[in-house]
Amino acid sequence: MFKINYPTTKYPFNKIISNILDAKNLSKIHKEFHFENYQLFTREKDQSTKYHKLYYDNFKESIEPLYKKFIKEIIRPLYSEDIVYQKIPTFRLHFPGNIAVGEYHKDKWYRDLEWHEEVKEMNFFLPFTRTYGTNTIWVESEEDKGDYKPMGSKYGECIQWDGSNLSHGNKKNTTQTTRVSVDFRIIPYSTYKPSNHGSINTKTKFEIGGYYDKI
């Protein structure tokens, strides 16, 4: 796990997401929009708010150009070869009194295990607000160690980590700030192969042209 710093003036994700959600301050949007009205999220419902819909509906026009630029200029240089990347990063809202992901898990549980072992997929956590304490992802340091700790970060940092093998999830947010973030997955092109399995919410197949794209 390591942090990658990037200039927020060149990659103004916070500003774009704020405009899409019509929010003045992303870390305080729970006060603007009364997020306390939502019941505790489950795995089936953690992508179902109208704010998630705003993000996905506006992704192609408002976010995709900057996201592709970020992948090309910040993420691709981390690899010595072409990469396969998640085409639409997953949007997360973690506001006070709730959770962002419905259950603790390893990403490989939702993939074909043989496929997972071959492709060497890695996760990237890209927050648009400060993440700390109970408003962020909690992850173990080694597989099956169970020593969960919070993934602290700030806007302008992106964290690479092994969400395929490390169990992770989140706790009920007892802070006074909302976490707004996206996460995406990267596969070295030399290890890529398509899978018949699909994503949990949209059932999009794990293949280039579906869940992934190539750069």
Domain ranges of the chain: 2-214
Res 12: pLDDT: 98
DSSP 74-104: IIGGGSSS-EEEESSPEEEEE-TTS-SSSS-
**In this structure, how many other beta carbons lie within 10 angstroms of the beta carbon of residue 141?**
11
Q: Confidence band (pLDDT; 50, 70, 90) for 209?
A: very high
- Residue pair 36/79 in contact (Cβ under 8 Å)? The answer is no
* Per-residue pLDDT tens digits for 10-49: 999 999 999 999 999 999 998 887 665 677 776 666 677 8
96-to-23, 56, 82, 116, 129 alpha-carbon distances in Å: 16, 22, 39, 34, 14
Residue with tokens 């929009």: 33
Q: Which residues of 15-31 are buried (b: 16+ CB within 10 A; e: fewer)?
A: ebbbebbebeebbbbbe
Q: How confident is the model at residue 37, as a pLDDT?
A: 62
Lowest-confidence range among 40-44, 47-51, 79-83, 130-134? 40-44
The residue ranking higher by pLDDT, 34 or 171, is 171
The correct CATH number of 2-214 out of 2.60.120, 1.10.260, 2.60.40, 1.10.3470 is 2.60.120
Minimum mean pLDDT among 54-58, 96-100, 189-193, 197-201: which range?
A: 197-201
